Amino acid sequence: MLQIENKELFGKVIADALAKVELTVTDTQTKKRWINAVSKAVVEIETNGVFMTWQDDEQALLIWSQKSNHIYSANGVCQCRAFAEKTPCFHRCAARLVRLYLQAENNPAPVKTQAEEMNDAPYLKNNGWTKAERVGGIRIN
């Protein structure tokens, strides 16, 4: 049984997945299919998570489809008809979303110190150019 506890984190994973489709898929039809597959994966995870199990060893998501009564083991590949026809399937999307979600949940982004924040944003740093200068007795900065 699969249960998503951190909805906010899962939301971020979904947003990233949609952004990745947007940025990497150039063909409009394929893009539409992937976006539909991601949407379906989200709905399936939320409503039928009870029929899914994450397998850590294989980094695969087991999905029992009540519609076909098949069990699909999805990671990069899948056993469903859509995959055989080389079209996007929600099983693979669901597996990727769950993998990324679990990774993010197990490795939360480290909290940055102020100094590290500064290194990431050089414009926040005092670059030493603010020292007052005078030309002819008048401060010019």
* ∠ Cα 102 92 40 (to 5°): 90
Minimum distance from residue 78 beta carbon to Zn ion (Å): 3
Q: Which residues are CB-contacts of 103 (< 8 A; sequence separation ≥ 6)? A: none
Minimum distance from residue 62 beta carbon to Zn ion (Å): 12
What is the Cα–Cα distance from 126 to 12, expressed in whole angstroms? 33
Other CB atoms within 10 A of residue 98 CB = 25
- Which CB sits closer to Zn ion, 9 or 87? 87
Stretch that binds Zn ion, among 15-23, 34-42, 77-85, 121-129 (CB under 5 A): 77-85
Structure tokens, 126: 């005092």
Stretch that binds Zn ion, among 20-28, 78-86, 101-109, 121-129 (CB under 5 A): 78-86
- Which CB sits closer to Zn ion, 47 or 130? 47
Options 80, 93, 97, 98; binder of Zn ion; rule CB under 5 A = 80
Other CB atoms within 10 A of residue 58 CB = 10
How is the chain split among helix, strand and coil, in percent rounded to 5?
Answer: 50, 10, 35
Q: Are 139 and 132 in contact (CB under 8 A)?
A: yes
* Residue 91 binding Zn ion, by CB under 5 A: yes
* Residue 78 binding Zn ion, by CB under 5 A: yes
Encoded one letter per residue, x for contact with Zn ion by CB under 5 A and - for no contact, window 98-137 reads: ----------------------------------------
Minimum distance from residue 73 beta carbon to Zn ion (Å): 10
